[in-house]
Each structure stands twice: as C-alpha cells, then as structure tokens.
Amino acid sequence: MSASISNTTPEDGTAIVKLDPYLEPYKGAIKYRYDRFAELKQQIKDSEGGYDKFSKSYERRGFVVDAKNGVTYTEWAPGAVAASLIGEFNNWDPKANQMERDQYGVWSCYVKPTADGKCAIPHDSMVKVTFTKPDGTTVDRLPPWITRVTQDLSISPIYDARFWNPPKEQQYTFKHPRPAPVGGKDQAGGLKIYEAHVGISSPEPKCATYVEFRDNVLPRIAELGYNCIQMMAIMEHAYYASFGYQVTSFFAISSRFGTPEELKSLIDRAHELGLTVLLDVVHSHASKNAEDGLNYFDGTDHCYFHEGARGRHELWDSRLFNYGHHEVLRFLMSNLRFYMDEYMFDGFRFDGVTSMMYKHHGMGVGFSGGYHEYFGDDVDLEAVNYLMLANDMLHEIYPNVISIAEDVSGMPALCRSVQEGGVGFDYRLSMAIPDMWIKLLKEKTDDQWDIGNIAHVLTNRRHAEKSIAYAESHDQALVGDKTLAFWLMDAEMYTNMSDLSPLTPIVDRGIALHKMIRFVCHSLGGEGYLNFEGNEFGHPEYVDFAIESSPCSISAQARYVLALNRWMDFPREGNNNSFLHARRQFNLPDDPLLRYRYLYEFDKVMNNLETKYKWLSAPQAYVSLKNETDKVLVFERAGLLFIFNFNPSQSFADYRVGVDIPGKYKIILNSDEKRFGGHGRVEMNGEYFTTDFPWNDRRNFLQVYIPARVVLVLGPV
C-alpha cells in the first residue's frame, strides 16, 4: 500500500474521498460498506479471538493428528442428520466412526491410535465422509479441508481423498526465507511477474511435474530477470482443460503435478533464487461437481453456496459462494492462510474479482466508468466485504504480502487500504491493455495506429493505485484466441523463423513490433509487469523441429494443419486428449539457428535493465511527444528517455526530442541491435548532448537517429 493520504486522515473508512473528490456523492455508501466490514471483523474477534485464530481454522477443521497419533476429524455440514468417517482404514464401514454434531452443525469424531501407538489411518490411504439426509438417503463426499486428492483416469474421472500424513523424515522442511519485498531497498526493481502453469512447462507432450518445473524452469525465470512467479492451476481441479478454474478441492494442490512435499521444494527453490511466489487463487466460484467437489456437500445446495439462481454462475457453469456466512468466511480466509503458512506462498492473484463484486458478475455489462456503477444496487456487498476482510487479514499478519485483483470494472479504491475505505489490494491487472493491442493488430494497418490513444490506454490508471501492465497473458494463449506473435506473424512462424531462411517482411515486422509492444507496456503501462510463460519468445503452438531447423520446404497440407494450431489447447475429448498444444517449447530459444532466441534475449535485457533503473517503482512517466504523423512516442521515467518509432517505413535522422534533465546521454537499450534480431542501424557507442532550449514542454532537447520500428532508451552518462 502507498503512504497514507494526509496527516488528518478520517478514521471512519472514508479517507479515499480526500484522494478522489468525485467519490463525495458516494461517501455514505463507502462508509456503509466499511462499517459492515468493521462489524464482521469485530464478530470474528468476539467469536473466534481475531484473525489469527480464525484464519488458522485449518489446524482444527478436517483431519488433525495429535501428539499421540490420534486423529480428530471435524466438518461443518448443517444439512445432514447423521455423519460418519469412512475409509480404507475401517473398511468403509459407516458404523465404525460415527460423528457427533454440535449446535452449529459441526460434526466431529476421534480415531484412536493403534495399540502400538501408530496412527490408525495409514498415510496416503483413501477416506470419505458419509452423510445421512433428512429423507434417510445417504451421500458420500470428499472432505472439503482435505490436503491431498488423486485421480486415476484409467478407472474414473472422480477424485479420491487421501489422508496425507507422511512420516517426519519424508516431510519437506523449508530452508530458505521469503525474499525481500519486491521494490524494497534489498531487492532491485519493481514487480515483474512470470505467469506459469506447471503442467505445460515441458517441451515434451506430457503433463510436467513440480520437480521438473523446479529444476528446469525456475533457473530460466531468474535468468530472464523476473522477480515473481504467478502459479496457475495449483488448487485441485478435476478437469485439466479448465486451466484450474473449476476448483474441486480448495486445500489440495494438483496431484497431477506431484506431491505436496514436491511443491514445497519448488517454492523453497524459488525463494533461494530470490523469486517471490504468488498463487492464482480461485475464490470467485467453485466446480459444480458433487462427488468430488463442494456442491451439495451436506445434501443441500446451500451449504457453502447461495441457494437457487444466486448460487449459480450460468456462463461459467459453476457454483457461487455465500460470502455472508460465517463458516464460508472461515473456509476461504483459512484457505489463504493455509497456503501462506504451509506452502510459503508470498501472496495471491485473486481470480474473477469482477464476478465477485457485482450481482450481475460483469456479464453483459459494459462499464462506462460512471461512479454510480460501483456503489449502487448491482454491487454484491457481501463479496466486497469478504475481499476487504481477506486483504485486511493478509496485510495484518504478513506485512510484505502481495495481493492482485483481476478486475475489469475499474472499481475505485480497489487498491487502497481497507482502513482508508478501499478494498485492500496492492495491484490491479490492467486488462484493457491487451484488448487494445489485439484490436489494433486485428483491425488497423500500421500507419493507422493512434499513438495518442496507445499512450492514453497505457497511462489511464487510477491515481495512487498500482497497476500490473501486460501485453498478453494466459487469456490470449488459450483456445479461441491468438497470441501477439501469431497476430503479427501467423503461419510464417512455422516456415521462416530460421536464420537459414530469408528474413521476410512479415517476420521482420513481427520481431520488431513484438519487442516494441511488450517494452512500451513494461515501461509506460504500470507499476508492475506480467508475461505468460513462453510468450517472451513468441511461442509457436506447434513446430516440427527438423523442418524448422532446416531451409527445406514444408508441404501445403502440413502447413495447413500447423496453421490451425494457433493457441494453447489442453488434452480433451475434442482433440483426442492430445498434449501436443499444452506444452512450452523452451528448446526453441536455445536453438542458435532460430529467431525465437532474439525475442528471448530482448526480454532478458529488458527485465534486467528495469532491475537496474527501477522504472516500475518510479512515478508515472511524463509523456512529452505523441506524434501521429511520424508515429513517434517519447516519454521520461526514472531518469531515462524512452523513444519509440512505430512508423512502419520511415526512419528519422536528427530527430529532436525533449528531455528535462540536461547533460550527456548514451544509449542503454536499442531494439535494433542484431542480438535482438534487428538490423544494427544505430551506433551504440554514440553520445548525445542536450541543448538548453525548451522543446515539447521540456527544458532541453537532444537529437537522435531513430529507425523505423525501433525503440531507443537513453540514460545520463
């Protein structure tokens, strides 16, 4: 969070009005939601002892092993009239371990240790809970707080719950502390996020593992200059092709990638490399699976969710949490705490925040930016209060935690502290930026690009609220969309990305603009930057290495087949359960004959340059030039001068640009260098001297040679 607004900040949750006077008409609504948050926080304190104990409910719910190896099993299921713990340990006998209910609908039983003092439930053995409904019928369910579930697709797609209690010698012990806070004095640069999916992280057509990601991908991320990993699809989800967005078991990490101990070793290794690790947390909805999910858990449709239509997301075909219920708050807030404490995650990217905050879930709604849209009847106050509680709890217990909101609505004060009246996030994703690039590449020719609009979209963010800029994320890589590289180069990526083949105009343009688009987002678009794994080198979705590495031709039929595969596609019935398009071909930028290496090298230099000069943590850039005729964009940030020439054909000699700080400058980044796939048209050793004469509202100017489709960054000598 940024510094407080003033020395006379109101303490009634309305301080954000001083930051944004346009919020004044909604001061009452802001105060009301803060008062409701304060009431909920006080209720948690009065009934549970406060955030710390409440959010550690995972130590009391589900399976808890005591010092004598006895097991207490506790579960909230108010709709049931009887309950029993069943499993391999008691031959699935519902009479063996019957549970008792308290006045709040919480059931519990105790499984005594064996005569020789061992745990009566074997490690990794299968367990379930069985409930009797009021009509006398029974349902078997997976325990919601279970930390390990596995799936054997050769038998059934339904998950099995497993009692995870490895011997101490098999339990992973963390060796490395969390890294210093991103942007802090001990860690250079702002937040640079590498959005990653473990399963696709191998060049081989298979589901990769935590161990493979730890050993093969983490070193790359560190080398590329990123300081943060955002891990996708970690919470267990029955359907692999859902990309992790149909969660079935919230406390279990995906077993298709490995064991809990192996994920812990991955995170520990990331910390050793200085990488902050965020979890993509899905609290916006849940899978509608009943046999291995939360749906109809106690036999009713309203245990964890709203009943009826309010509890169903029709577009996502999923269930919606009842954020107004005390036990749901316990479950979700403990879920966050569990991942922070047990797995040593450093924070969260909250998925689907727009869907949570509004009763319409953002469906069929085009947000105009009018403030009435954020404080009216369409707002789901219970969900907003949950987000306030979650962020307040996280920041109170972990001062260096990072929380990011995926919100397309533009909710004011989303990234201001709860005490000021905000929702408490640290960053929001700038979701309009990738949409702008797709629209430009899809609908406009290069000479039609509106430089002023590009600059506006990149800088149009709320004052004193941090944003994560990105040119593309996993959304643009999934089935039905295309990555920037494909919008730029399309099918030629399969035939002309070898240095042994001629450099075509399409590939030349694609390489140049791929670098410029990503870099202008990085340097102008926000206080953080995000990239989805593989996109840094323009990942093709499939390529025949033998064909690509040689200048030989490819048949028309094969080219047609390859051209169809323009996106990432998980194994599913529609593609014969193929892994071919659910993998990352990291071998491509390593090949000295392929042009992917140029984009990879530029990404590495771009990130490491930010680590040195820290423009992401600097104040927002000052844009001095948006020349629509020349297609030139110039701005200053962190003491550097950024010059982008988006002109498709015209280079400019002795081009005059304004700069505020006088002195001698040198080039510190030139996208036209041959090591980046450029043409080497700019002398890297040149020096540039300012002239004491105002230009473009800056106190000085200097003159540069700026070739077409090139970005130069100048820094003071």
For 609, other C-beta atoms within 10 Å of its C-beta total 21
The stretches of 565-709 forming alpha helices (DSSP H) are: 587-590, 596-613
DSSP reduced 3-state for 115? coil
Q: Cα angle vertex 538, ends 535, 540, to 5°?
A: 100
Place of tokens 């009509």: 135
Does 9 have pLDDT greater than 80?
A: no
Asked if residues 422 and 413 have their Cβ atoms less than 8 Å apart, the reply is yes
* Under 8 Å between Cβ of 263 and 256: no
Report the distance separating Cα 93 and Cα 85, nearest Å: 8
What pLDDT is stored for residue 56 in this prediction?
A: 98
Query: Residue 568: what pLDDT?
Result: 78
Q: What is the mean pLDDT of residues 181-207?
A: 86
Q: What is the residue-averaged pLDDT of the chain?
A: 93
Q: What is the largest CA-CA distance in the chain?
A: 90
DSSP, collapsed to helix, strand or coil, labels residue 117 as coil
The predicted model gives 655-664 an average pLDDT of 98
3-state secondary structure of 332: helix
Q: Count helices and strands (H / E) in the chain.
A: 18, 30
What's CA 551's distance to the chain center, in Å?
39
**474 vs 488: CA distance, rounded Å:** 17
- Enter the CATH code of domain 621-716: 2.60.40.1180
Residue pair 593/498 in contact by the 8 Å Cβ criterion:
yes
Encode pLDDT of 316-333 as tens digits.
Answer: 999 999 999 999 999 999
Give the Cα separation of 62 and 334 in Å (integer).
12
pLDDT of residue 572: 84
Written in H, E and C, the secondary structure of 489-530 is HHHHHHCCCECCCCCCHHHHHHHHHHHHHHHHHHHHCCCEEE
Rounded CA separation 71/278 (Å): 32
pLDDT the model gives residue 476: 80
Radius of gyration of the chain (CA): 27
Buried b (16+ CB within 10 A) or exposed e, 452-491: eebbebbbebbebbbbbbbbbbbbbbbeebbbbbbbbbeb
* Sequence-separated (6 or more) residues with CB below 8 Å from residue 104: 76, 78, 327
571: tokens are 């194994």
Q: What is the pLDDT of residue 108?
A: 98
Q: Tokens in use for 591?
A: 């090949």
Measured CA distances, 117 to 13, 69, 162, 171 (Å): 54, 7, 21, 20
Residue holding tokens 């240095």? 499
Per-residue pLDDT at 571? 85
Helix boundaries (H) for 418-496: 432-443, 451-459, 484-489
Query: What is the rounded average pLDDT of the residues 100-118?
Result: 97
pLDDT at 577 (0 to 100): 84
Q: Which residues contact 457 (CB under 8 A, 6 or more apart)?
A: 432, 433, 436
Q: What are phi and psi of 519, to 5 degrees?
A: -75, -35
Find, among 623, 708, 609, the residue nearest to 657 by Cα: 623
Q: 432-455+470-617 sits in which CATH class?
A: alpha beta
Q: In this prediction, what percent of the chain has a pLDDT beyond 70?
A: 94
Name the residue type at position 185. K
Do β-strands 466-469 and 528-532 pair in parallel, antiparallel, or remain unpaired?
A: parallel
pLDDT at residue 573, as a whole number: 81
- pLDDT, residue 188, reads 59
Where b means 16+ CB within 10 Å and e means fewer, 98-114 reads: ebebeeeebbbbebebe
pLDDT of res. 493: 87
Average the pLDDT over 390-401 and give the result. Answer: 98
- More confident call, 566 vs 5: 5
Domain boundaries, the chain: 55-280+332-351, 432-455+470-617, 621-716
Query: Which residues are known to be catalytic?
Result: 351, 406
Please tell me the pTM assigned to this model. 0.94
Amino acid at 600: Y
Phi, psi (degrees; rounded to nearest 5) at 496: -130, 25
The yes-or-no verdict on residue 543 having pLDDT over 60 is no
* CATH architecture, domain 55-280+332-351: Sandwich (2.60)
Question: Phi and psi at residue 374, in whole multiples of 5°?
Answer: -100, -10
Per-residue pLDDT band for 554 (boundaries 50, 70, 90) equals very low
What amino acid is encoded at 430 in this protein? S
Q: Which residues contact 59 (CB under 8 A, 6 or more apart)?
A: none
Q: b/e string for 129-147 if b means 16 or more Cβ within 10 A?
A: bbbbbeeeeebebbbbbbb
Calpha distance 33→184 (Å, rounded): 32
Query: Phi, psi (5° rounding) for residue 521?
Result: -65, -45
> Would the CATH topology of 55-280+332-351 be identical to that of 621-716?
yes
d(CA 556, CA 495): 11
| Other beta carbons within 10 Å of 618 | 17
Task: Round to whole Å and give the CA distance between 643 and 654.
Answer: 13
> Is the model's pLDDT at 482 over the cut of 90?
no
pLDDT (tens digit per residue) in 581-633: 889 999 999 999 999 999 999 999 999 999 999 999 999 999 999 999 999 99
pLDDT score of 186:
56
Looking at 581-717, which runs of residues are DSSP E strands?
622-627, 632-637, 640-645, 652-659, 664-670, 687-689, 700-706, 710-716
